[in-house]
Structure 1
Amino acid sequence: MRAYLTTACLDIDGVLCIDPTEEQTNDAEKYIEFILNAQPLFIPSRKVYALVTSRSEKYREQTEIWLKKYKVEYEYLIMQDLPGKEGGQKQISHAKHKALFYQKSSAELFIESDYKQSIEINHITKKPVFCAASNQIINNGFYNLKHEAVTSLKERLASFIPRGIKNQIKKLY
């Protein structure tokens, strides 16, 4: 099996760990506490190409502490350099920030937790995005792995069921 994570970009919040609450994101102290103690969801078993997050660059130290705590290995940690209120730069969307790195990188897959961001990242890059929330690969349209897997499983199971029982099941549905 090919090691896809070695050529993938992964979001952090919603992929590696749970998403912060709105209360946590709106309070700097609570947000730092969240970053340092976030409950893990998926810890990769091998080094990933890049972690691409919308977390502000000012939280790099706390993010790196969490990543080391869970032994997450990566080649790149890409964070958003968000301007202050008086900053002259215009803030870009989370999806666009992620897409800009993914587009210019050699990565072959982006793993994102947010469905809308998944679609936008794919739209910008024309590269595949796996949406963890919907269990779909978005690739210039929709390709629903979940649906295909369920259909395939039903077909395999159906091949083991005697015809008489199949007919009784069909009557129930």
Structure 2
Amino acid sequence: MPLGRRERNKQEKLDRIVAAASELFAEHGVDEVTTQQIADKADIGTGTLFLYVKTKGELLLLVQNAKYVEALERGRADAETVPGVLDAVLAIVRPIVECNRIQIDNGRTYLREMVFGDPEEPRHGAALAIVAQTEEAVAAVLRRDERVAEGDAATLAHIVSAVMFLSMAASVNIALSVEEIVQDIRGQVEVLLPH
């Protein structure tokens, strides 16, 4: 069914908010952008902005969640073509790391919001669902190895997720390239896998 005028207007405003925030965050970093700047760029009042999101962190989640879903889908597709378990896991991880490193401060803030935000808030919930989908994709790859038990695959995938998040978020890794982060993750995951 087509949306009514009110719903279309609401969606158009939300699209303008996301586009404005995305552009400003990419250009200046989330910490340097004010909600007033976002509202001005979206051509709405700040009160209207806060009808759609309560915090700048929620707005970053709204912007980044779609990008992370795309990265995960790319990683899943790549993993299907990679025969080795470790390399297939890294095929899932690499696009997520690339997505996270486009604007390092935004990526780190996104991870912090994801982990420490209110899981009941819809955008935080969506971010946590992306984490769960990532872990499911990694577990599916790990199950290719007959030495990995069903329950262990899920636990190992959870550990891989934690390794990935810490490698991307750690202050000591701020200056590392995508390749260096992926290699850091590779070294840690390799130790976890059966030999």
Normalised-by-shorter TM-score class: 0.3 to 0.5
Q: Point out the structure with max Rg over C-alpha.
A: 1
More strand by share: 1
TM-score, with length taken from structure 2: 0.29
More helix by share: 2
TM-score, with length taken from structure 1: 0.32
